[in-house]
Structure 1
């Protein structure tokens, strides 16, 4: 009787060990597959990050913040952020009632106002304007004076005609 109990105990233990071994093998192979997939995803993500960094550097090429020669024009003014200051001054032209005075078009749906601004250097600004339905672009020449006033001069403009009947 004692012999049978030990035999049953041995068989039962062997079955449990076999089950745990098979389960461990499946978990190990599944984990290996997951690690391989994660490595592929990581490589793809690193490539995407690198592409985005290159694209961002390309987009920042024409900007006052990254142009030391243009920033040298403003050293004597002690402005913390000349780009932001210039953008704020340009946006102040929106505060007048009616169309923005720098935009040579009359708004069709409402008043034309400047939306987005890109300060290229110490002389030029690219800008986008819209009345909510129609839009266009401006090239503006500006001069930031020693008294911190800013003169804006429209150089060229474009109104997109898509949608205009």
Structure 2
């Protein structure tokens, strides 16, 4: 009788050990699959981040902030942020009553004002303008003088037309 109890305990312990061995193997497979999936996601994220960084560098190619030669043009003026200074001066032209004087069109809904500015280098600016419904773009040549005055000259412009109106 005592031997049968030990035999049953041994068989029961063996079955538990077998169950633990099999379930541990299955858990390990699942963990390995999850780990591989996470590794591929990390690789994809790294690729995405690298792609976004390259796009950002590409978009910054034409900008005064990243053009050391153009920035050197303003070294003698001791302006901390020439791009911001020039953009502020251009936005000051919006403060005049009526249409912005650099925009060669009359506003149709309201006055045309400059909205967005991209300073390309030490000579050129691209600007977006709108009256709330109609919009266009300007190519502006500028000159920052030693007395910190800025002269703006309109080089070219376009007004987008809506099709069907």
Same fold (TM > 0.5): yes
Question: 1:79: Cα distance to partner?
Answer: 0.8
Q: How does 1:12-161 map to 2 (within 5 A)?
A: 12-161=12-161
Q: Using the alignment, how far apart are the partners of 2:73 and 2:65 within structure 1?
A: 12
Structure 1 window deviating more from structure 2 (127-136 vs 155-164): it is: 155-164
Root-mean-square deviation (Å): 1.7
Judged with a 3 Å threshold, the aligned counterparts in structure 2 of structure 1 residues 164 and 127 are, in CA distance, closer, same or farther, namely farther
- Structure 1 distance, partners of 2:107, 2:7, is 95
Structure 2 unaligned spans of 5+: none
Decide which moves more: 63-72 or 36-45: 36-45
User: Which region of structure 1 is more displaced relative to structure 2, 55-64 or 2-11?
Assistant: 2-11
What SS is found at the alignment partner of 1:147? Answer: coil
TM-score, normalised via structure 2 length: 0.91
TM-score (norm 1): 0.91
The CA distance in 2 between the partners of 1:120 and 1:58, in whole Å, is: 13
CA distance in 2, matches of 1:34, 1:54: 30
Gaps in structure 1 of 5+ consecutive residues: none
Once the two structures are TM-superposed, the CA of residue 6 in structure 1 deviates from its matched residue by 2.4
Cα distance in 1 for residues equivalent to 2:111 and 2:2: 100
Once the 2 structures are TM-superposed, how far is the Cα of residue 71 of structure 1 from its aligned partner?
Answer: 0.9
* Structure 1: 4+ residue segments shifted above 3 A: none
SS in structure 2 at match of 1:155: strand
